[in-house]
Amino acid sequence: MHPLRFAALCALALLLAGCGGAATPAATTGSSAAAPEPITVVASTNVYGDIVKQVGGDRVEVTSIISDPGQDPHSYEANTQNQLALSKARVVVENGGGYDDFVDTMLKSSGNTAAEVVNAVTVSGRTAPAGGELNEHVWYDLPSVAKIADQISAALAKADPASAAAFTANADAFKQKLKPLEDRTATIAAQAGGTAVAITEPVPVYLLEAAGLKNLTPEEFSEAIEEGDDVSPQVLAETIALFTGKKVEALVYNEQTSGPQTEQLKKAAADNGVAVVPVTETLTEGKDYVGWMTATLDALQAALIP
């Protein structure tokens, strides 16, 4: 974050510190109690915001910081409005793993020390492989998403113990909706397991691995694209050769971080009759998590299974 922007946020934090922490219950009037105030929740992306809504129902008021499917989440610049929301949050859901570090920075600056924080990467239990880097995109890992739903339920229950049973039931219902997605993934693995594919970024890798697919993309290419760096001509040529040499059956393409070099891959795929499967890092308009993942699996199945 630019130093001047961070300084401004810190100045705002001094003003907000007095209002951070847990919200107080609604006051009662007369003999009848008013409905309790909803639990204020901030999620780093609308993927987690949607899961919170599924688990929390009408007991939550959710702010999703990153929600535009046309925006590159890696280049997101947090603002004072985000910090204000975090200062009032009773529950915060972040991805972790270096994906959305600004959430921790701004939460600390806001003075809100009472919020329950759910870190998706920590909950998932995913770690970096030996000698490799952590793939932090755990929302494409269905078993991890089930764990995250349970942890969100537990965090909401701490904020509103009276609704704990409802949160547990909602989390269970959400996990039941994940089972058809897991079944679809297993079907792809049974019918197309071992098929070679390429990617532009490691965003969907957990899902591809669960589907039994083999990623042939040079690691130097996908890592450079993820970090916003240029790919060397040699690595770019090696990656394009996957399509000209008919070595892969599909290109799984992150539409939110497209650029000249990923567009070259997309063109190479089209020119050589290789299917392009679009993916995004945040929910597309009008989709909840399950609908979003269903559409992704539909596209993947159509590309690989005649």
Range among 28-37, 128-137, 140-149 with highest mean pLDDT value: 140-149
- Residues 191-218 as b/e (b if ≥16 CB within 10 A, e otherwise) read ebeebebbbbbbbbbbbbbbbbbebebb
What is residue 228's predicted lDDT score, i.e. its pLDDT? 86
pLDDT of residue 24: 42
Domains and CATH numbers, the chain: 3-24+37-178 (3.40.50.1980), 180-304 (3.40.50.1980)
Q: Give residue 71's pLDDT.
A: 67
DSSP class of 254: E
Mean pLDDT on 83-91:
96
Given a cut of 50, whether residue 160 has pLDDT beyond it is: yes
Least confident of 1-10, 89-98, 146-155, 237-246: 1-10
For residues 212 and 199, give the distance between their C-alpha atoms in angstroms, rounded to a whole number: 15
Tens digits of residue pLDDT in 228-261 = 899 999 999 999 999 999 999 999 999 988 899 9
Average pLDDT for 212-238: 94
State the pLDDT confidence band at 20, using cuts at 50, 70 and 90.
Answer: very low
288-304 per-position pLDDT tens digit: 999 999 999 999 999 99
The pLDDT tens digits for 164-197 are: 999 999 999 999 999 999 999 999 999 999 999 9
Check residue 256 and give its pLDDT: 87
Q: What is the pLDDT of residue 227?
A: 86
Secondary structure element (H or E) that encloses residue 159, with its range: helix 142-159
CA distance 297 to 304: 11
- Structure confidence at residue 22 (pLDDT): 41
pLDDT at site 25: 43
pTM recorded for the entire structure:
0.87
Contact between residue 197 and residue 213 where contact means Cβ atoms under 8 Å apart:
yes
Q: What is the pLDDT of residue 41?
A: 98
Q: Look over the chain and give the mean of its residue pLDDT values, rounded to a whole number.
A: 89
Residue 35 has pLDDT above 90, yes or no: no
What long-range pairs does 37-40 form, CB within 8 A, spacing at least 24? 39/90, 39/91, 39/156, 39/159, 39/160, 40/85, 40/88, 40/89, 40/90, 40/91
pLDDT at 99: 93
How long is the chain? 306
Task: Quote the pLDDT of residue 194.
Answer: 97
